[in-house]
Amino acid sequence: MGEVVLEVRELSTKYITRFREDVYAVDRVSLKVEEGKTLGIAGESGCGKSTLALSLMGYYFPPLHYTSGEIIIDGRDISRMKPDDVRKSILGSEIAYIPQSAMNALNPTQKIIRFVEDVFQAHDPYKSKPEIHEYAEEAFETLGLPASVLNKYPVELSGGMKQRTVIAVSVLLCPKALIADEPSSALDVTTQKMVIKMLKNLMENGFIKSMIFITHELPLLYNVADDIMVMYAGQIVEKGTAVEVVFDPLHPYAKGLMGSIIVPEEGLRDVKLTAIPGVPPNLKSPPAGCQFAERCKYVLPECRVMSIPLYDAGGGRAYRCILSEKVLREAYQHAG
């Protein structure tokens, strides 16, 4: 077992809307990321994946508010730090974040090198420009990007190239953890592969120690992540290694997600895609019992009243369902 890079204990955050309503977007989430590992987070739109990513950085600004829990990176609890301190001492140097539309972060009127200088000087104002240039060129070459990119304007680069440039810049300060939030969903399959290859290289070249990868594309997640967490309505509903979660899902929602996988392999055309009926609950007034009860095929009367804890199934496996492992597996087998 490697050293734990990032640990989160029972983190809860909420949005406060204009009308003073609370939206519980992240509900008591605990996770651990070990050195050299990639943690994948899956779930449909609006389940709180991206909010979790923002919350993990400890960088809260309205309407997002911190409620409870701890975020420990490098032995330090950053959950109660001031946003300004977080920006100066955590972002970039401890945790880096790549949002979905990262490529739009580049300033169209400046060359990439100016952006790199900004990043360095925000953390170390005394670093000289020639030093930065030399370091950046070397780092770009290592990551498989031509150093000539540094002297270009963002409009001269293609979408995939811009995305890779932003990723390269975000890891220049060698952060301990990288949070990648759908880094490839706006790209086509060929460019997506380049981006993924680069992210894998980051870890091998020692730029980052661990990664949290967020996406709704399960085949992609399966290929990138070591462990997968499935989120639903702000809660973790299933946790396990990639192989376990994809091939032997326990929670009915995770099972439903696996039914929507499309891969170009023989026999796919005979499989009927199963979609989960209904919509996720409104998080302004979450249901009393299990959040998934409304859409679940195996719902019991107790599900709607009792709040369900995350059961530990041993070996790092956990799931949030009232039914036992055995009953669930039998039910899935029965359903085909």
Partner 1 sequence: MPGEQNACLSGRDLTKIFGFGSTKTVAVDHVDFDFHEGEVISLVGESGSGKTTLAKMLLGLLNPTEGEIYFEGKLRDIRTQRKKREYWKDIQAIFQDPYCSYNIFRKIDTVLLDCIHMRGGRRLPQATKVEMMAEACSFVNLKWEELTNKYPFELSGGQMQRLMIARIFLLKPKILLADEPTSMIDACSRATILDMLMQLRDEVGMTVVFITHDIGLAYYVSDTVYIMEHGEFVETGCADEVILHPKEEYTKRLINDVPKIYEEWDLSTV
The contact set with partner 1 (CB under 8 A) reads: 44-46, 159, 187-194, 196-197, 200, 216-220, 222-223, 246, 256-257, 259-266, 268-269, 273-277
Among candidates 159, 148, 321, which has minimal Cα distance to 238? 321
Least distance (Å) from partner 1 to the CB of residue 232? Answer: 11
77 or 294: CB nearest partner 1:
294
Closer to partner 1 by CB, 121 or 223: give it. 223
User: In the complex with partner 1, which residue's Cβ is closer, 90 or 236?
Assistant: 236
Beta carbon nearer to partner 1, 243 or 327? 243
**Identity of the residue, 260 or 307, whose beta carbon is nearer to partner 1 in the bound complex:** 260
DSSP 272: P
- Least CB distance to partner 1 at residue 122 (A): 32
CA distance 74 to 71: 10
- Count of CA atoms in the C-beta half-sphere (13 A) of 147: 10
62, with CB counted inside 10 A (0-12, 13-18, 19+), is: exposed
CB of 151 to partner 1, least distance (A): 24
The answer to whether 198 touches 167, Cβ cutoff 8 Å, is yes
Burial class (CB in 10 A: 0-12, 13-18, 19+), 27: buried
d(C-alpha 172, C-alpha 175), whole Å? 8
Report the DSSP beta bridge partners of residue 312.
318
- Shortest reach from residue 37's CB to partner 1, in Å: 18
